[in-house]
Chains A and B, each alone.
Chain A
Amino acid sequence: MAGARETHLLDAHKRLGARIVEFGGWDMPLQYSGVVAEHNAVRHNAGVFDVSHLGKLRVTSPQGSAALQHAVTADIEGLVPGQASYALVLTDDAGTVDDIFIYRVAEHEWLVVPNAANVTAVAEMIEASGTEVADEWDRWAILAIQGPRSFEVFDKVFPGSGATDLKLHRFTTLDVLGEEGMVARTGYTGERGFELYAPAAVAEPALERILDAGAAPVGLGARDTLRLEMGYALYGHELTRDINPLEASLGWAVKWDPDFRGKEALSAVKETGPARRLFGIACTGRGVPRQGCPVFAGEQRIGELTSGNFSPTLGTGIGLALGPRELTPEVGQSVAIEARGRRIEGDIVKPPFIKRA
Protein backbone atom coordinates (compact mmCIF):
# COMPACT_ATOMS: atom_id res chain seq x y z
CA MET A 1 0.00 0.00 0.00
CA ALA A 2 1.36 3.42 -0.94
CA GLY A 3 1.25 5.47 2.26
CA ALA A 4 -0.94 4.87 5.26
CA ARG A 5 -4.59 5.88 5.33
CA GLU A 6 -5.54 8.70 7.65
CA THR A 7 -8.63 8.75 9.82
CA HIS A 8 -10.72 11.91 9.90
CA LEU A 9 -9.34 12.47 13.39
CA LEU A 10 -5.59 12.33 12.74
CA ASP A 11 -5.08 16.08 13.23
CA ALA A 12 -7.05 15.91 16.47
CA HIS A 13 -4.85 13.06 17.72
CA LYS A 14 -1.72 15.06 16.97
CA ARG A 15 -3.11 18.07 18.85
CA LEU A 16 -3.82 15.76 21.80
CA GLY A 17 -0.16 14.73 21.83
CA ALA A 18 -0.63 11.20 20.51
CA ARG A 19 2.23 9.02 19.37
CA ILE A 20 1.19 7.87 15.91
CA VAL A 21 2.03 4.42 14.52
CA GLU A 22 1.01 2.57 11.39
CA PHE A 23 -1.43 -0.21 12.15
CA GLY A 24 -3.31 -2.25 9.55
CA GLY A 25 -2.40 0.26 6.85
CA TRP A 26 -3.57 3.30 8.84
CA ASP A 27 -1.83 6.01 10.83
CA MET A 28 -3.30 5.49 14.30
CA PRO A 29 -2.74 6.82 17.82
CA LEU A 30 -0.72 4.33 19.90
CA GLN A 31 -0.95 6.35 23.11
CA TYR A 32 -1.54 9.85 24.47
CA SER A 33 -0.70 10.18 28.18
CA GLY A 34 0.52 6.58 28.56
CA VAL A 35 -0.88 3.07 28.24
CA VAL A 36 -1.43 2.45 31.95
CA ALA A 37 -3.25 5.73 32.66
CA GLU A 38 -5.42 5.29 29.55
CA HIS A 39 -6.18 1.69 30.47
CA ASN A 40 -7.24 2.73 33.96
CA ALA A 41 -9.39 5.55 32.57
CA VAL A 42 -11.45 2.94 30.68
CA ARG A 43 -11.66 0.52 33.62
CA HIS A 44 -12.68 3.15 36.17
CA ASN A 45 -14.09 6.11 34.27
CA ALA A 46 -14.57 6.56 30.51
CA GLY A 47 -12.30 6.57 27.49
CA VAL A 48 -12.74 7.29 23.81
CA PHE A 49 -10.86 5.41 21.07
CA ASP A 50 -10.63 6.21 17.39
CA VAL A 51 -11.23 2.86 15.72
CA SER A 52 -11.89 4.27 12.26
CA HIS A 53 -9.33 1.84 10.85
CA LEU A 54 -11.87 -0.97 11.22
CA GLY A 55 -13.44 -2.05 7.95
CA LYS A 56 -16.88 -0.77 6.93
CA LEU A 57 -18.31 -3.07 4.27
CA ARG A 58 -21.94 -2.67 3.26
CA VAL A 59 -24.00 -5.39 1.63
CA THR A 60 -27.35 -4.34 0.18
CA SER A 61 -28.05 -6.52 -2.85
CA PRO A 62 -31.27 -8.59 -2.77
CA GLN A 63 -29.26 -11.83 -2.82
CA GLY A 64 -26.87 -10.36 -0.24
CA SER A 65 -28.36 -11.94 2.85
CA ALA A 66 -28.02 -15.50 1.64
CA ALA A 67 -24.53 -14.86 0.32
CA LEU A 68 -23.43 -13.23 3.56
CA GLN A 69 -24.82 -16.14 5.57
CA HIS A 70 -22.56 -18.45 3.57
CA ALA A 71 -19.51 -16.28 4.38
CA VAL A 72 -19.84 -16.03 8.16
CA THR A 73 -20.28 -18.33 11.19
CA ALA A 74 -23.12 -16.38 12.86
CA ASP A 75 -26.79 -17.17 12.26
CA ILE A 76 -27.44 -13.84 10.60
CA GLU A 77 -31.06 -14.58 9.71
CA GLY A 78 -31.59 -14.87 13.45
CA LEU A 79 -30.68 -11.20 13.86
CA VAL A 80 -33.39 -8.55 13.72
CA PRO A 81 -32.75 -5.17 12.09
CA GLY A 82 -30.93 -3.15 14.73
CA GLN A 83 -29.03 -6.14 16.07
CA ALA A 84 -25.35 -7.02 15.69
CA SER A 85 -23.29 -10.16 16.23
CA TYR A 86 -19.67 -11.23 16.51
CA ALA A 87 -18.76 -13.77 13.81
CA LEU A 88 -15.85 -15.44 12.07
CA VAL A 89 -15.00 -15.70 8.39
CA LEU A 90 -13.38 -19.01 7.51
CA THR A 91 -11.56 -20.61 4.63
CA ASP A 92 -12.79 -23.91 3.14
CA ASP A 93 -10.46 -25.75 5.50
CA ALA A 94 -11.73 -23.79 8.55
CA GLY A 95 -8.72 -21.51 8.92
CA THR A 96 -9.71 -18.09 10.22
CA VAL A 97 -9.72 -15.25 7.67
CA ASP A 98 -10.93 -12.73 10.24
CA ASP A 99 -13.17 -12.09 13.20
CA ILE A 100 -15.80 -9.46 12.48
CA PHE A 101 -18.88 -7.71 13.74
CA ILE A 102 -21.93 -7.90 11.52
CA TYR A 103 -24.81 -5.40 11.84
CA ARG A 104 -28.26 -6.05 10.39
CA VAL A 105 -29.24 -2.52 9.35
CA ALA A 106 -32.48 -3.48 7.54
CA GLU A 107 -34.09 -6.64 6.18
CA HIS A 108 -31.56 -6.76 3.33
CA GLU A 109 -28.91 -4.30 4.45
CA TRP A 110 -25.84 -5.32 6.41
CA LEU A 111 -22.73 -3.61 7.70
CA VAL A 112 -19.72 -5.88 8.10
CA VAL A 113 -16.84 -4.63 10.26
CA PRO A 114 -13.58 -6.56 9.79
CA ASN A 115 -10.14 -5.81 11.19
CA ALA A 116 -8.27 -3.16 9.21
CA ALA A 117 -5.65 -5.54 7.83
CA ASN A 118 -8.29 -8.03 6.62
CA VAL A 119 -10.81 -5.81 4.83
CA THR A 120 -9.78 -6.96 1.36
CA ALA A 121 -9.73 -10.63 2.33
CA VAL A 122 -13.18 -10.43 3.97
CA ALA A 123 -14.63 -8.52 1.01
CA GLU A 124 -13.27 -11.19 -1.33
CA MET A 125 -14.78 -13.98 0.77
CA ILE A 126 -18.19 -12.30 0.80
CA GLU A 127 -18.02 -11.63 -2.94
CA ALA A 128 -17.02 -15.25 -3.54
CA SER A 129 -20.19 -16.20 -1.68
CA GLY A 130 -22.22 -14.31 -4.27
CA THR A 131 -22.85 -10.66 -3.47
CA GLU A 132 -21.29 -7.30 -4.11
CA VAL A 133 -19.76 -5.36 -1.27
CA ALA A 134 -19.42 -1.56 -0.95
CA ASP A 135 -16.33 -0.38 0.96
CA GLU A 136 -17.28 2.72 2.98
CA TRP A 137 -13.79 3.11 4.48
CA ASP A 138 -13.70 6.89 4.14
CA ARG A 139 -17.34 7.64 4.91
CA TRP A 140 -17.27 7.15 8.66
CA ALA A 141 -15.17 7.78 11.71
CA ILE A 142 -15.75 5.10 14.35
CA LEU A 143 -15.40 6.19 17.97
CA ALA A 144 -15.53 3.64 20.78
CA ILE A 145 -16.69 5.19 24.06
CA GLN A 146 -16.05 2.68 26.82
CA GLY A 147 -15.99 2.51 30.59
CA PRO A 148 -18.29 2.60 33.62
CA ARG A 149 -19.01 6.29 33.01
CA SER A 150 -19.57 5.90 29.23
CA PHE A 151 -23.36 6.12 29.58
CA GLU A 152 -23.10 9.41 31.41
CA VAL A 153 -20.70 10.77 28.78
CA PHE A 154 -22.86 9.63 25.89
CA ASP A 155 -26.03 11.06 27.38
CA LYS A 156 -24.32 14.39 27.91
CA VAL A 157 -23.17 14.62 24.27
CA PHE A 158 -26.21 13.05 22.61
CA PRO A 159 -29.16 13.64 24.96
CA GLY A 160 -32.31 11.79 23.97
CA SER A 161 -30.56 9.59 21.38
CA GLY A 162 -31.96 6.48 23.03
CA ALA A 163 -28.50 4.89 22.94
CA THR A 164 -28.38 4.32 26.68
CA ASP A 165 -31.62 2.29 26.47
CA LEU A 166 -30.14 -0.13 23.94
CA LYS A 167 -29.41 -3.67 25.00
CA LEU A 168 -26.00 -5.20 24.39
CA HIS A 169 -25.24 -5.62 20.66
CA ARG A 170 -28.21 -3.48 19.59
CA PHE A 171 -27.80 -0.33 17.57
CA THR A 172 -29.78 2.61 16.27
CA THR A 173 -29.41 5.66 14.05
CA LEU A 174 -28.91 9.03 15.70
CA ASP A 175 -28.29 12.65 14.89
CA VAL A 176 -24.57 13.47 15.12
CA LEU A 177 -24.33 17.27 14.95
CA GLY A 178 -26.82 17.46 12.11
CA GLU A 179 -25.76 14.36 10.20
CA GLU A 180 -27.17 10.86 10.44
CA GLY A 181 -24.90 8.45 12.25
CA MET A 182 -25.22 5.12 14.02
CA VAL A 183 -24.52 4.01 17.56
CA ALA A 184 -24.13 0.44 18.81
CA ARG A 185 -23.82 -1.07 22.26
CA THR A 186 -20.64 -2.88 21.29
CA GLY A 187 -16.98 -2.73 22.20
CA TYR A 188 -13.93 -4.84 22.88
CA THR A 189 -12.73 -3.72 26.31
CA GLY A 190 -14.89 -5.70 28.74
CA GLU A 191 -16.50 -2.45 29.93
CA ARG A 192 -19.95 -1.20 29.03
CA GLY A 193 -20.00 1.33 26.24
CA PHE A 194 -20.77 2.31 22.68
CA GLU A 195 -19.33 2.43 19.22
CA LEU A 196 -20.36 5.56 17.36
CA TYR A 197 -20.33 5.74 13.57
CA ALA A 198 -19.93 9.45 12.92
CA PRO A 199 -20.12 10.79 9.35
CA ALA A 200 -16.72 12.12 8.25
CA ALA A 201 -17.82 15.77 8.18
CA VAL A 202 -18.71 15.83 11.89
CA ALA A 203 -16.13 13.38 13.22
CA GLU A 204 -13.83 15.96 14.75
CA PRO A 205 -16.44 18.07 16.56
CA ALA A 206 -18.07 14.85 17.81
CA LEU A 207 -14.75 13.74 19.30
CA GLU A 208 -14.24 17.14 20.91
CA ARG A 209 -17.62 16.98 22.60
CA ILE A 210 -16.99 13.46 23.87
CA LEU A 211 -13.66 14.60 25.35
CA ASP A 212 -15.32 17.67 26.87
CA ALA A 213 -17.92 15.41 28.47
CA GLY A 214 -15.18 13.65 30.42
CA ALA A 215 -13.84 10.76 28.32
CA ALA A 216 -10.05 10.41 28.16
CA PRO A 217 -8.45 9.81 24.76
CA VAL A 218 -7.21 6.21 24.59
CA GLY A 219 -4.87 4.69 22.02
CA LEU A 220 -4.29 1.27 20.52
CA GLY A 221 -1.77 0.38 23.25
CA ALA A 222 -4.43 0.37 25.95
CA ARG A 223 -6.96 -1.17 23.55
CA ASP A 224 -4.64 -4.18 23.48
CA THR A 225 -4.12 -4.42 27.27
CA LEU A 226 -7.89 -4.01 27.83
CA ARG A 227 -8.86 -6.79 25.41
CA LEU A 228 -6.13 -9.08 26.68
CA GLU A 229 -7.26 -8.74 30.31
CA MET A 230 -10.64 -10.03 29.10
CA GLY A 231 -9.03 -12.88 27.13
CA TYR A 232 -10.51 -11.59 23.88
CA ALA A 233 -8.92 -12.87 20.68
CA LEU A 234 -7.00 -10.52 18.40
CA TYR A 235 -6.48 -11.39 14.77
CA GLY A 236 -2.83 -12.15 14.01
CA HIS A 237 -2.43 -13.47 17.54
CA GLU A 238 -5.09 -15.96 18.70
CA LEU A 239 -6.59 -16.15 15.21
CA THR A 240 -4.83 -16.71 11.89
CA ARG A 241 -5.50 -18.71 8.73
CA ASP A 242 -3.60 -21.50 10.50
CA ILE A 243 -5.85 -21.50 13.59
CA ASN A 244 -9.46 -22.70 13.54
CA PRO A 245 -12.11 -21.23 15.86
CA LEU A 246 -12.38 -24.33 18.03
CA GLU A 247 -8.65 -24.15 18.80
CA ALA A 248 -9.09 -20.48 19.72
CA SER A 249 -11.96 -21.25 22.18
CA LEU A 250 -14.42 -19.47 19.89
CA GLY A 251 -16.85 -22.33 19.41
CA TRP A 252 -19.55 -20.05 20.88
CA ALA A 253 -19.22 -17.81 17.81
CA VAL A 254 -20.07 -20.66 15.44
CA LYS A 255 -23.74 -21.40 14.77
CA TRP A 256 -24.05 -24.83 13.24
CA ASP A 257 -27.57 -24.62 11.70
CA PRO A 258 -26.82 -22.44 8.65
CA ASP A 259 -24.37 -23.57 5.98
CA PHE A 260 -21.16 -21.58 5.90
CA ARG A 261 -17.79 -21.79 4.21
CA GLY A 262 -15.51 -24.07 6.21
CA LYS A 263 -18.36 -25.85 7.99
CA GLU A 264 -17.43 -29.30 6.73
CA ALA A 265 -13.82 -28.97 7.82
CA LEU A 266 -14.81 -27.44 11.15
CA SER A 267 -17.35 -30.23 11.77
CA ALA A 268 -14.52 -32.73 11.37
CA VAL A 269 -12.49 -30.78 13.95
CA LYS A 270 -15.48 -30.81 16.28
CA GLU A 271 -15.78 -34.57 15.82
CA THR A 272 -12.17 -35.35 16.73
CA GLY A 273 -11.55 -32.40 19.03
CA PRO A 274 -9.18 -29.55 18.15
CA ALA A 275 -5.49 -30.41 17.75
CA ARG A 276 -4.48 -27.41 19.88
CA ARG A 277 -6.01 -25.48 22.72
CA LEU A 278 -5.70 -21.93 23.97
CA PHE A 279 -4.94 -21.30 27.65
CA GLY A 280 -4.32 -18.31 29.87
CA ILE A 281 -1.31 -17.61 32.09
CA ALA A 282 -1.14 -15.06 34.91
CA CYS A 283 2.47 -14.40 35.82
CA THR A 284 3.60 -14.63 39.41
CA GLY A 285 7.19 -13.71 38.53
CA ARG A 286 8.46 -10.37 37.34
CA GLY A 287 8.57 -9.54 33.64
CA VAL A 288 6.28 -9.05 30.71
CA PRO A 289 5.70 -12.07 28.47
CA ARG A 290 5.44 -11.42 24.73
CA GLN A 291 3.92 -13.11 21.68
CA GLY A 292 6.09 -16.01 20.53
CA CYS A 293 7.57 -16.86 23.95
CA PRO A 294 7.58 -20.64 24.61
CA VAL A 295 5.71 -22.02 27.63
CA PHE A 296 7.08 -24.85 29.75
CA ALA A 297 5.64 -27.24 32.33
CA GLY A 298 8.82 -28.38 34.03
CA GLU A 299 11.15 -29.13 31.12
CA GLN A 300 8.37 -29.92 28.65
CA ARG A 301 7.46 -27.30 26.14
CA ILE A 302 3.65 -27.16 26.13
CA GLY A 303 2.90 -24.20 23.89
CA GLU A 304 3.72 -20.73 22.71
CA LEU A 305 2.29 -17.33 23.58
CA THR A 306 -0.10 -15.86 21.03
CA SER A 307 -0.36 -12.65 23.09
CA GLY A 308 1.46 -11.34 26.12
CA ASN A 309 1.49 -8.03 27.90
CA PHE A 310 1.40 -6.29 31.23
CA SER A 311 -1.97 -6.20 32.99
CA PRO A 312 -2.38 -2.75 34.55
CA THR A 313 -5.26 -4.07 36.67
CA LEU A 314 -3.28 -7.00 38.13
CA GLY A 315 0.14 -5.36 38.05
CA THR A 316 1.63 -8.51 36.51
CA GLY A 317 2.28 -10.05 33.13
CA ILE A 318 -0.51 -12.03 31.46
CA GLY A 319 -0.59 -14.11 28.33
CA LEU A 320 -2.63 -16.38 26.09
CA ALA A 321 -0.88 -19.45 24.72
CA LEU A 322 -1.67 -22.12 22.15
CA GLY A 323 -0.37 -25.65 22.49
CA PRO A 324 -1.11 -29.30 21.62
CA ARG A 325 -4.35 -30.48 23.23
CA GLU A 326 -2.73 -33.49 24.90
CA LEU A 327 -0.33 -31.13 26.70
CA THR A 328 -2.93 -28.55 27.76
CA PRO A 329 -2.25 -27.63 31.39
CA GLU A 330 -4.90 -27.62 34.11
CA VAL A 331 -6.22 -24.43 35.69
CA GLY A 332 -4.05 -23.71 38.73
CA GLN A 333 -1.00 -25.51 37.36
CA SER A 334 2.35 -23.70 37.55
CA VAL A 335 4.17 -23.06 34.30
CA ALA A 336 7.08 -20.94 33.13
CA ILE A 337 7.31 -18.61 30.16
CA GLU A 338 10.73 -18.23 28.59
CA ALA A 339 11.45 -14.61 27.74
CA ARG A 340 14.87 -13.26 26.83
CA GLY A 341 16.64 -16.32 28.15
CA ARG A 342 14.91 -16.07 31.54
CA ARG A 343 11.88 -17.84 32.93
CA ILE A 344 8.85 -15.97 34.19
CA GLU A 345 6.80 -18.13 36.54
CA GLY A 346 3.04 -18.15 36.14
CA ASP A 347 -0.20 -19.98 36.91
CA ILE A 348 -2.74 -21.30 34.45
CA VAL A 349 -6.00 -19.36 34.70
CA LYS A 350 -9.25 -19.45 32.78
CA PRO A 351 -9.69 -16.07 31.05
CA PRO A 352 -10.88 -13.40 31.65
CA PHE A 353 -7.83 -12.51 33.74
CA ILE A 354 -9.81 -9.95 35.72
CA LYS A 355 -13.22 -10.40 37.27
CA ARG A 356 -15.76 -7.74 36.40
CA ALA A 357 -18.23 -6.45 38.96
Chain B
Amino acid sequence: MAQLPDDRQYTAEHEWAKDDGGRIVVGITYYAQDQLGDVVFVGLPEPGSEVTAGEPLGEVESTKSVSDVYSPVTGRVAEKNLAVEQNPELINSDPYGKGWLVVIEPAEGGLGELMDAEAYGQLTE
Protein backbone atom coordinates (compact mmCIF):
# COMPACT_ATOMS: atom_id res chain seq x y z
CA MET B 1 0.00 0.00 0.00
CA ALA B 2 2.29 2.72 -1.22
CA GLN B 3 -0.54 5.21 -1.80
CA LEU B 4 -0.72 6.87 1.65
CA PRO B 5 -0.97 10.62 1.01
CA ASP B 6 1.36 12.60 3.29
CA ASP B 7 -0.75 15.79 3.16
CA ARG B 8 -3.04 14.63 5.96
CA GLN B 9 -3.18 12.84 9.31
CA TYR B 10 -4.60 9.47 10.33
CA THR B 11 -6.40 7.85 13.27
CA ALA B 12 -5.98 4.38 14.75
CA GLU B 13 -9.60 3.70 13.66
CA HIS B 14 -8.55 4.23 10.03
CA GLU B 15 -9.97 7.66 9.31
CA TRP B 16 -7.99 10.40 7.62
CA ALA B 17 -8.25 14.12 8.38
CA LYS B 18 -6.97 16.82 6.08
CA ASP B 19 -6.67 20.49 6.99
CA ASP B 20 -8.21 22.54 4.19
CA GLY B 21 -7.75 26.19 5.13
CA GLY B 22 -8.83 25.62 8.72
CA ARG B 23 -11.68 23.24 7.94
CA ILE B 24 -11.10 19.50 8.29
CA VAL B 25 -12.00 17.07 5.51
CA VAL B 26 -12.63 13.54 6.80
CA GLY B 27 -12.67 10.17 5.09
CA ILE B 28 -11.69 6.56 5.66
CA THR B 29 -8.39 5.07 4.54
CA TYR B 30 -7.59 2.71 1.72
CA TYR B 31 -6.90 0.05 4.35
CA ALA B 32 -10.35 0.58 5.93
CA GLN B 33 -12.24 0.28 2.65
CA ASP B 34 -10.17 -2.75 1.66
CA GLN B 35 -11.06 -4.48 4.93
CA LEU B 36 -14.76 -3.61 4.49
CA GLY B 37 -15.07 -4.70 0.88
CA ASP B 38 -17.74 -3.18 -1.38
CA VAL B 39 -19.33 -0.27 0.48
CA VAL B 40 -23.08 -0.22 -0.22
CA PHE B 41 -24.47 2.32 2.27
CA VAL B 42 -23.07 5.39 3.98
CA GLY B 43 -24.74 7.18 6.87
CA LEU B 44 -23.49 10.76 7.32
CA PRO B 45 -24.47 13.52 9.77
CA GLU B 46 -26.41 16.51 8.50
CA PRO B 47 -24.57 19.82 8.13
CA GLY B 48 -24.88 21.73 11.38
CA SER B 49 -24.58 18.62 13.59
CA GLU B 50 -22.07 18.70 16.40
CA VAL B 51 -19.42 15.97 16.41
CA THR B 52 -16.92 15.01 19.08
CA ALA B 53 -13.41 13.71 18.58
CA GLY B 54 -13.35 9.94 19.13
CA GLU B 55 -17.15 9.59 18.91
CA PRO B 56 -19.00 8.02 15.96
CA LEU B 57 -20.04 10.56 13.34
CA GLY B 58 -21.55 8.12 10.87
CA GLU B 59 -21.26 4.61 9.49
CA VAL B 60 -20.17 2.80 6.39
CA GLU B 61 -21.72 -0.52 5.49
CA SER B 62 -20.43 -3.14 3.09
CA THR B 63 -21.79 -6.44 1.84
CA LYS B 64 -19.76 -8.01 4.66
CA SER B 65 -20.15 -5.75 7.68
CA VAL B 66 -20.92 -2.33 9.06
CA SER B 67 -18.56 -0.06 10.92
CA ASP B 68 -18.69 3.27 12.67
CA VAL B 69 -16.72 6.21 11.41
CA TYR B 70 -15.18 8.13 14.32
CA SER B 71 -14.70 11.85 14.19
CA PRO B 72 -11.03 12.83 14.30
CA VAL B 73 -11.95 16.26 15.64
CA THR B 74 -14.56 18.07 17.74
CA GLY B 75 -16.63 20.63 15.88
CA ARG B 76 -19.64 21.20 13.65
CA VAL B 77 -20.37 19.49 10.33
CA ALA B 78 -20.06 22.08 7.56
CA GLU B 79 -20.67 19.81 4.58
CA LYS B 80 -21.42 16.18 3.84
CA ASN B 81 -20.54 14.44 0.61
CA LEU B 82 -23.85 13.93 -1.20
CA ALA B 83 -22.11 12.15 -4.05
CA VAL B 84 -20.81 9.45 -1.74
CA GLU B 85 -24.28 8.95 -0.26
CA GLN B 86 -25.57 8.37 -3.79
CA ASN B 87 -22.57 6.31 -4.93
CA PRO B 88 -20.97 4.64 -1.92
CA GLU B 89 -18.53 2.80 -4.21
CA LEU B 90 -16.59 6.10 -4.43
CA ILE B 91 -15.18 5.12 -1.04
CA ASN B 92 -13.71 2.00 -2.63
CA SER B 93 -12.54 3.59 -5.85
CA ASP B 94 -11.12 6.85 -4.45
CA PRO B 95 -10.94 6.80 -0.63
CA TYR B 96 -8.58 9.80 -0.39
CA GLY B 97 -10.33 11.91 -3.04
CA LYS B 98 -13.94 11.67 -4.27
CA GLY B 99 -14.73 9.29 -1.40
CA TRP B 100 -14.41 11.95 1.31
CA LEU B 101 -17.27 11.89 3.86
CA VAL B 102 -17.67 15.23 5.68
CA VAL B 103 -16.06 18.61 6.20
CA ILE B 104 -15.88 19.72 9.83
CA GLU B 105 -15.54 23.25 11.15
CA PRO B 106 -13.38 22.50 14.17
CA ALA B 107 -14.13 23.92 17.61
CA GLU B 108 -11.44 25.91 19.34
CA GLY B 109 -8.15 24.08 19.33
CA GLY B 110 -8.62 22.67 15.85
CA LEU B 111 -7.25 19.33 14.81
CA GLY B 112 -5.11 17.71 17.48
CA GLU B 113 -2.04 15.62 16.94
CA LEU B 114 -2.87 12.45 15.00
CA MET B 115 -0.64 9.98 13.16
CA ASP B 116 1.30 11.04 10.12
CA ALA B 117 1.41 8.86 7.02
CA GLU B 118 4.55 7.07 8.16
CA ALA B 119 3.18 6.17 11.61
CA TYR B 120 -0.15 5.09 10.14
CA GLY B 121 1.63 3.06 7.48
CA GLN B 122 3.47 1.15 10.21
CA LEU B 123 0.19 0.52 12.04
CA THR B 124 -1.38 -1.16 9.03
CA GLU B 125 1.66 -3.04 7.80
The answer to whether A and B belong to the same complex is yes
By the criterion CB–CB under 8 Å, are A288 and B37 in contact?
Answer: no
Task: Give the docked Cα–Cα distance between A221 and B63 (Å).
Answer: 8
By the criterion CB–CB under 8 Å, are B37 and A340 in contact?
Answer: no
By the criterion CB–CB under 8 Å, are A286 and B66 in contact?
Answer: no
In the complex formed, the residue of B with least CB distance to A344 is B41
Contacts of B92 in A (CB 8 A): 34
Task: Give the docked Cα–Cα distance between A288 and B59 (Å).
Answer: 12
CB contacts under 8 Å to B, within A11-39, are 31, 34-37
Selected A-B contacts with CB under 8 Å, 29 pairs = A31-B37, A34-B37, A34-B38, A34-B92, A35-B37, A35-B38, A35-B64, A36-B38, A36-B40, A36-B63, A37-B38, A221-B37, A221-B63, A221-B64, A225-B63, A286-B41, A286-B43, A287-B43, A287-B66, A288-B40, A288-B41, A288-B63, A310-B40, A310-B41, A310-B61, A310-B63, A312-B63, A340-B59, A340-B66
Shortest CB-to-CB span from A35 to chain B, Å, is: 4
Contacts of B62 in A (CB 8 A): 288
Contacts of B38 in A (CB 8 A): 34-37
Instruction: Tell me if A309 counts as interface (CB < 8 A to partner B).
Output: yes
Shortest CB-to-CB span from B23 to chain A, Å, is: 27
Contacts of A287 in B (CB 8 A): 41, 43, 61, 66
Q: How many residues of A contact B (CB 8 A)?
A: 14
- Fill in one digit per residue for A87-119: 1 if any B CB lies within 8 Å of its CB, else 0: 000000000000000000000000000000000
- The interface residues of chain A, by DSSP majority, are classed as mixed
Contacts of B63 in A (CB 8 A): 35-36, 221, 225, 288, 309-310, 312
Q: A31, A37, A221, A288 — which one has the most chain B CB atoms within 10 A of its CB?
A: A288
Task: Give the docked Cα–Cα distance between A122 and B92 (Å).
Answer: 41
Q: B40, B41, B89 — which one has the most chain A CB atoms within 10 A of its CB?
A: B40
What residues of chain B have their CB less than 8 Å away from a CB belonging to chain A?
A: 37-38, 40-41, 43, 59, 61-64, 66, 89, 92
Task: Give the docked Cα–Cα distance between A221 and B65 (Å).
Answer: 12
Task: Give the docked Cα–Cα distance between A310 and B92 (Å).
Answer: 16
In the complex formed, the residue of A with least CB distance to B61 is A288
What residues of chain A have their CB less than 8 Å away from a CB belonging to chain B?
A: 31, 34-37, 221, 225, 286-288, 309-310, 312, 340
Apart from A35-B63, A312-B63, 7 more pairs, CB < 8 Å:
A34-B38, A35-B64, A221-B63, A287-B66, A288-B61, A288-B63, A309-B63
Contacts of B43 in A (CB 8 A): 286-287
In the complex formed, the residue of A with least CB distance to B34 is A19
Task: Give the docked Cα–Cα distance between A225 and B62 (Å).
Answer: 12
Contacts of B37 in A (CB 8 A): 31, 34-35, 221
In the complex formed, the residue of B with least CB distance to A39 is B63
Contacts of A340 in B (CB 8 A): 59, 66
Task: Give the docked Cα–Cα distance between A36 and B59 (Å).
Answer: 19
Contacts of B61 in A (CB 8 A): 287-288, 310
In the complex formed, the residue of A with least CB distance to B40 is A310
Task: Give the docked Cα–Cα distance between A219 and B41 (Å).
Answer: 21
Shortest CB-to-CB span from B41 to chain A, Å, is: 5
Task: Give the docked Cα–Cα distance between A310 and B64 (Å).
Answer: 9
Contacts of A312 in B (CB 8 A): 63
Contacts of A286 in B (CB 8 A): 41, 43
Contacts of B66 in A (CB 8 A): 287-288, 340
